[in-house]
Amino acid sequence: MGVIVVVGAQFGDEAKGKITDYLAADARIVVRTGGGPNAGHSIHLAEGSVVLHQVPVGVLRSGVLGVCGPGMVLDPRGLDEEIRTLQERRLFKGSLAISERAHAILPIHIAEDAWEEERRVATRPGAAIGTTMRGIGPAYADRYGRWGVRFGDLIRPARLADRLELLYATKPHLATTLQDRERVRTELGEVAARLAPFVQPTEPLLWSAVERGDTIILEGAQSALLDVDFGTYPYVTSHHPTSAGALVGSGLPPAEVTEVVGVTKAYATRVGAGPFPTQVEGDMGAYLQREGGERGATTGRVRQVGWLDLVLLRYAARLNGFTSFALTKVDVLGGLDDVPVAVQYVTPTGETLTDYPPADADELAHVTPVYEKLPAWPKFTANLERRIREEGARALPTELKQFIEFVGRETRVPVEWVSYGPRREQTVWLGKPHGSAPAGSVSAWAA
C-alpha cells in the first residue's frame, strides 16, 4: 500500500483517529506528524474506549510501530502518563518511537498560552482564538525562534539545563523564580529518564520501511482548514495539518506517497472561535450535537455543528491532493427529512464562489451558503448494520449511495470508505476508486 497520508478535510474532529486505526490493520508503521496534546483521537475497542492525545494509534495493534514524528510538539509529562495508562490497561500492543527532533512543551509554554489569550481579549473583546491552553502555539513559536527544547535535549541533562536557561531568558513577561525553574528541571529529568528508551532518530526507520515495501500511515492531527497558512487565520492551529505538512513532520519525501485520504463527516463541526458558514443552531443544531456526540475529545467543549460545505471540501481536496475520501458519521443524518449540502457561496457583493473560500476570516463569516437538498436515508438499525457486515457496501441505503455519488462528483474525489458508527467494525469499504463517477452515473458498488 505504500505511504498513506490521512488528513482531516474540515475543521477537525472528523474521526481521523478511527480511520487511521482502521487502516493500521494492514500497516507496519503509523506516524503522528504534527500537533500535540491539543488533539484527541477516540478509538472504540472491544476492550473499551480510549482517547489518544499524543501517542499514535498504531500502538493499539500488535506488530505496529507508532512514531511521534519530528513535526510534533509533545508534553513530556502528559506523554509519560498516557503511555503508562495504556500499558496498565493492556492496550499498548505495538511499539513506540519518539523522534529526537520533536519539541517539548514545557510548563512555561502552557502559562504563556493563557497569557497570550488574556492579552488578546484585553486588547479587543472577542479576539480570543479558542486555544486549548495546552501550550501548542508558544511551543511552535519557540521552535521557529530557535529557542525550543527538543527531545534529544531532554534526555541529556547538561544540555537540558542549558536550553532551559536560554528559553527562560526570552520570557521576562512570565514571572518565574529560580526555585520554579529548578523544580521544572528536576521533574523533566525524571520524566525524561522514563521516556529515554523510546527516543531515537525516526527518519531512518521510515526510510528502511519504505525500502522494504512496508505500509506506512501518516496520521493527521487537527485539519486542513486549521492550517496556519491555508486555514481560517487567525483561528487556526500552529502547524501544517495538510498532506504537505505530514511530509515535513515525518521526514518522508513526496515521491513516496501513494494515497492521500481526506476524512470528512457527512455534515460539519467546529470547536473554538472562527467563521463557520454552514452552522446550524436551534433544535436541529441540538439534534446533531446530541446524535453525533459532538464534544471535543481533549477539551470536552461542545462542538458547533453545520451542514456539509462543498466549497470548503473542494478547496481542501485541491490543497491536499486527496485521492479518496473517508466519509464518517453518516448514521447521524439517518431519519432526517432531507440533507442540505452547501454547493456554493454568495458574497455580500453578489459574487459566486464554488471552490475557493475568502482567505479573510471576516469575509468568510459573511458569505451566504447556497444549499441543495438531497434525500435523506433511513436510520441505521441493527438489521441494516447486520446486512452491511454480511453484504458489504451493496447493503447501504439507496439514498445514502446517491449522497456518496454526489459528494464524489462535486469534489472530483471518490468516497472509498464509509463509517456509520464509532466502533472499528462500523466501517465499510466501497472498493478501490478509479476516479469519480461522471454525472448521472452509478458506480458498480451502488448498483
Q: At 178, which CATH number?
A: 1.10.300.10
Q: Is residue 78 part of a domain?
A: no
pLDDT in tens, 254-265: 999 999 999 999
Are 367 and 359 in contact, with CB atoms under 8 Å apart?
A: no
Instruction: Please check whether residues 112 and 212 belong to one and the same domain.
Output: no
Which residue out of 13, 80, 142, 331 is catalytically annotated? 13
User: Comparing 56-65, 76-85, 166-175, 430-439, which segment has the lowest mean pLDDT?
Assistant: 430-439
Q: Is residue 399 part of a domain?
A: yes
Instruction: Please check whether residues 212 and 189 belong to one and the same domain.
Output: no
- Work out the percent of the chain whose per-residue pLDDT is above 90: 84
**Residue 97: pLDDT band with limits 50, 70, 90:** very high
Q: Is residue 266 part of a domain?
A: yes
**Residue 436: pLDDT band with limits 50, 70, 90:** very low
CA angle at 117 for the pair 112 and 123, rounded to the nearest 5°:
120
pLDDT in tens, 325-344: 999 999 999 999 999 999 99
Instruction: Please check whether residues 170 and 251 belong to one and the same domain.
Output: no
Supply the mean pLDDT for the chain.
Answer: 93
pLDDT in tens, 69-87: 999 999 999 999 999 999 9
Instruction: Please check whether residues 189 and 273 belong to one and the same domain.
Output: no
Which residue out of 21, 41, 103, 240 is catalytically annotated? 41
**Residue 314: pLDDT band with limits 50, 70, 90:** very high
Instruction: Please check whether residues 382 and 302 belong to one and the same domain.
Output: yes
Domain termination site, one of 197, 219, 237: 197
The pLDDT of residue 301 is 76
The pLDDT of residue 434 is 53
Split into its structural domains, the chain has a count of 2
272 pLDDT more than 90:
no
Q: Is residue 82 part of a domain?
A: no
Instruction: Please check whether residues 437 and 367 belong to one and the same domain.
Output: yes
HEC per residue, the chain: CCEEEEEECCCCCCCHHHHHHHHHHHCCEEEECCECCCCCEEEEECCEEEEECCCCHHHHCCCCEEEECCCEEECHHHHHHHHHHHHHCCCCCCEEEEECCCEECCHHHHHHHHHHHHHHHHHCCCCCCCCCCCCHHHHHHHHHHCCCCEHHHHCCHHHHHHHHHHHHHCCCCCCCCHHHHHHHHHHHHHHHHHHHHHEECCHHHHHHHHHHCCCEEEECCCCHHHCCCCCCCCCCCCCCCCHHHHHHCCCCCHHHEEEEEEEEECEEEECCCCCCCCEECHHHHHHHHHHHCCECCCCCCECEEEEEEHHHHHHHHHHHCCCEEEEECHHHHCCCCEEEEEEEEECCCCCEECCCCCCCHHHHCCCEEEEEEEECCCCCCHHHHHHHHHHHHHHCCHHHHHHHHHHHHHHCCCEEEEECCCECCCEEECCCCCCCCCCCCCCHHHC
Q: Is residue 355 part of a domain?
A: yes
The pLDDT of residue 435 is 45
Instruction: Please check whether residues 252 and 349 belong to one and the same domain.
Output: yes
* 14 grid coordinates: 472528523
Instruction: Please check whether residues 362 and 267 belong to one and the same domain.
Output: yes
Can 44 be counted among the known catalytic residues? no
Query: What average pLDDT does range 144-163 have in this prediction?
Result: 96
Can 103 be counted among the known catalytic residues? no
**Residue 40: pLDDT band with limits 50, 70, 90:** confident
Instruction: Please check whether residues 192 and 212 belong to one and the same domain.
Output: no
pTM for this predicted structure: 0.93
- Mean pLDDT highest for which of 287-296, 332-341, 432-441? 332-341
Domain that holds residue 171: 103-197
